[in-house]
């Protein structure tokens, strides 16, 4: 029986890890569909961003209450997963409370800390559920979040609560069995579990068999839940638990106002003005098209951004266009980018050639009207807690529209004409530039 459980555990563990790795490999492949962009310079600054923005969650602290609760769930969740080491060891080797033997003096302290954290995580998750579903926080109630995205958040919160409950209930059953002198529990004396022992009155009347069963069921449900969660996470907005770290590392270090240069265009203009500087024959390959129409025209960092997005909507809540009722929503830009990448992912999985699927990020997922409304104010970039830059994508899509499609609003066409002919966006001639100097003060 024991050995059967061990084998079953091994199979489940390997399967779960296999599917998770496969999924992560696909995500990596999808991210790398994006264009190359070197973001490895200044490693010290980058690590600092990881420490401050990802680990320290600095931007979250614009709202300290939410930040503390979030930190609780996150820290609690990560730390409690140390317990996973023990569970995996016990599962594979058929041991019981593996760490107790390793750390006899600290074990009680360790598990009690986990229990306290578990209780706090449950508390925070309940508050988040209430906040999300009963209190109208505007950014969590937009129509972008109907359907799966809104369920996603609730599912995760509920799963976390259930996992923490299972952990506590397992401990409660274990300590009761110890009190009743049942092996192997009795000779693995853990000391008092301060939180889970509060559940004892509920379980006091359980028979020994029920207690044993409860302990085993909780143990199994807990580990199965965690493995399922791991796989679920990779499909959900909760991927940010993992990707927030690389995303902070690779976030841009330049001032937000600087727009990414296009060296190909720079060179073309240079050769137009200085033909002698042009290289003999066209040795450097010009990009096939300018700007971005689909996700593979974006930089890989834009795609990493899309997979890291938590759909929290802080960007959209800060966006001046969105606040005044325009269609543009930077969160939707990120969700659309991920959705298109996922669509390509599922085509790759089914071995369907996606490059000729006649679909693209621009038009099929994001409309012209949306990206036109952007004031490039950087409010979205500033607001994002996981270092995402929706503006970068918007500018790339605008570049495609103007440079490849010559599609621009009438007023912009006149503006371009003015700049070209008069060197100013308005219709004034260059010699009118100093008319003001001729007036008195």
Partner 1 sequence: MKVPIWSEEVSKGNQPEILFWVGCAGSFDARAQSITKAFITILNKVGISYAILGTEEMCTGDPARRAGNEFQFQMMAYQNIQLLNGYQVKKIVTACPHCFNTLKNEYPELGGHFEVIHHSTMLQQMIDEGKIVLNENGAFKGKKITFHDSCYLGRSNQIYDAPRSVIEALDASLVEMKRCKSNGLCCGAGGAQMFKEEEKGNNRINLERTSDVLETGASVVASACPFCNTMLTDGIKLNEKQEEIKVLDIAELIAQSI
User: Which listed range, 13-21, 155-163, 270-278, 303-311, lies at the site for ligand SF4 (CB under 6 A)?
Assistant: 303-311
- Measured in degrees and rounded to the nearest 5, phi and psi for residue 299 equal -80, 155
User: Which listed range, 93-101, 200-208, 279-287, 315-323, lies at the site for ligand SF4 (CB under 6 A)?
Assistant: 315-323
Q: Which of residues 286-305 bind partner 1 (CB under 8 A)?
A: 290-291
Is the separation of the CB atoms in 121 and 72 below 8 Å? Answer: yes
- Residue 73 interacting with ligand SF4 (CB under 6 A): no
Burial 29-63 (b: 16+ CB within 10 A, else e): ebbebbbeeebeeeeeebeebbeebbeebebbeee
Tokens of 58: 């600095």
Using CB under 6 A, pick the residue from 117, 118, 315, 362 that binds ligand SF4: 315
CA distance 294 to 396: 10
CA distance 368 to 254: 28
Residue 402 CB, nearest approach to partner 1 (Å): 4
Q: Which of residues 34-93 bind partner 1 (CB under 8 A)?
A: 62
Closest CA relative to residue 196, chosen from 226, 175, 220: 175
CA distance 107 to 103: 6
Which of partner 1, ligand SF4, none sits in contact with 262, Cβ below 5 to 8 A by type? partner 1
- Residue 323 interacting with ligand SF4 (CB under 6 A): no
Which of ligand SF4, partner 1, none sits in contact with 317, Cβ below 5 to 8 A by type? none
CA distance 59 to 412: 36
DSSP 405-433: T----HHHHHHHHHHHHHSSSSS--GGGG
Q: Which of residues 310-349 bind partner 1 (CB under 8 A)?
A: 318, 320-321, 323-328
The residue to which tokens 């300018």 are assigned: 290
User: Which listed range, 179-187, 245-253, 372-380, 417-425, lies at the site for ligand SF4 (CB under 6 A)?
Assistant: 372-380
* Nearer residue to partner 1 within complex by CB, 288 or 441: 441
- Residue 243 interacting with ligand SF4 (CB under 6 A): no
- Cα four-point dihedral sign 102, 108, 110, 114: positive
Q: How far is CA 275 from the centre of its chain?
A: 47
Residues 6+ apart with CB under 8 A from 297: 35, 289, 291, 396, 400
- Residue 235 interacting with partner 1 (CB under 8 A): no
Which of ligand SF4, partner 1, none sits in contact with 165, Cβ below 5 to 8 A by type? none
Residue 12 CB, nearest approach to partner 1 (Å): 48
- Residue 376 interacting with ligand SF4 (CB under 6 A): yes
CA distance 105 to 109: 8
* Nearer residue to partner 1 within complex by CB, 79 or 395: 395
In the complex, the residues that contact ligand SF4 under the rule CB under 6 A are 309-315, 318-321, 328, 330-331, 334, 374-380, 383-384, 386, 388, 390-391, 394
In the complex, the residues that contact partner 1 under the rule CB under 8 A are 62, 254-259, 261-262, 265-266, 268-270, 273, 290-291, 318, 320-321, 323-328, 369, 372-379, 381-382, 395, 397-403, 408-409, 411-412, 414-416, 419-420, 423-426, 428, 430-434, 436-437, 439-441
């Amino acid at each position: 029986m024991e050995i059967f459980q061990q084998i079953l555990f091994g199979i489940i563990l390997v399967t779960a890890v296999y599917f998770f790795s496969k999924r992560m490999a696909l995500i990596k492949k999808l991210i790398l569909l994006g264009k190359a962009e070197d973001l490895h310079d200044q490693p010290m600054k980058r690590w600092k961003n990881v420490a401050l923005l990802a680990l320290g969650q600095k931007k979250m602290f614009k709202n300290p209450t939410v930040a503390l609760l979030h930190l609780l769930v996150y820290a609690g969740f990560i730390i409690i997963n140390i317990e996973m080491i023990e569970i995996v060891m016990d599962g594979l080797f058929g041991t019981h409370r593996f760490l107790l033997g390793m750390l006899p003096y600290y074990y009680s302290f360790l598990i009690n800390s986990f229990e306290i954290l578990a209780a706090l995580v449950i508390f925070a998750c309940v508050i988040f559920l209430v906040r999300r579903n009963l209190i109208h926080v505007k950014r969590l109630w937009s129509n972008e979040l109907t359907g799966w995205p809104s369920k996603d958040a609730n599912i995760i919160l509920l799963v976390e609560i259930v996992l923490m409950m299972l952990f506590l209930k397992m401990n409660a059953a274990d300590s009761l069995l110890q009190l009743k002198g049942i092996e192997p529990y009795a000779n693995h004396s853990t000391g008092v579990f301060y939180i889970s022992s509060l559940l004892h009155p509920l379980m006091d009347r359980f028979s020994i068999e029920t207690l044993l069963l409860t302990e085993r069921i909780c143990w199994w449900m807990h580990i199965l839940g965690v493995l399922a969660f791991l796989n679920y996470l990779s499909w959900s907005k909760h991927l940010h638990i993992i990707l927030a770290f690389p995303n902070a590392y690779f976030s841009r270090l330049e001032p937000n106002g600087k727009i990414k240069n296009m060296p190909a265009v720079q060179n073309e203009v240079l050769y137009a003005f200085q033909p002698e500087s042009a290289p003999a024959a066209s040795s450097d390959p010009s990009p096939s098209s300018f700007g971005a129409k689909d996700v593979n025209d974006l930089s890989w960092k834009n795609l990493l951004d899309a997979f890291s997005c938590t759909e929290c909507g802080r960007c959209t809540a800060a966006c001046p266009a969105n606040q005044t009722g325009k269609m543009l929503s930077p969160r939707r830009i990120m969700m659309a980018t991920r959705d298109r990448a996922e669509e390509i992912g599922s085509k790759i999985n089914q071995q369907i050639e996606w490059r000729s699927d006649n679909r693209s990020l621009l038009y099929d997922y994001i409309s012209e009207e949306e990206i036109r409304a952007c004031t490039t104010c950087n409010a979205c970039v500033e607001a994002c807690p996981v270092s995402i830059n929706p503006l970068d994508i918007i500018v790339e899509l605008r570049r495609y529209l103007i440079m490849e499609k010559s599609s621009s609003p009438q007023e912009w066409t006149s503006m371009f004409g003015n700049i070209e002919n008069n060197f100013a966006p308005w219709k004034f001639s260059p010699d009118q530039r100093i008319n003001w100097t001729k007036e008195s003060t």
